[in-house]
Amino acid sequence: MASHIERRWLDTGSGPGAMVDVIVYDAESPDQAAYRRLIAHSSACQTCRQLDENGWATSTCETAQRLYRVWRRLWRPLTAAAATASPEGSPTT
Residue number with CB closer to Zn ion (40 or 83):
40
SS3 assignment, position 85 = coil
Residue ranges binding Zn ion (CB under 5 A)? 45, 47-48, 61, 63-64
Residue number with CB closer to Zn ion (24 or 45):
45
48 touches 42 (CB < 8 A)? yes
Distances (CA, A) of 4 to 45, 46, 54: 32, 35, 42
Q: Minimum CB separation from Zn ion for residue 69, in Å?
A: 13
Q: Minimum CB separation from Zn ion for residue 63, in Å?
A: 5
Task: Tell me how far apart the alpha carbons of residues 64 and 86 are, in angstroms, rounded to a whole number.
Answer: 15
Residue number with CB closer to Zn ion (34 or 48):
48
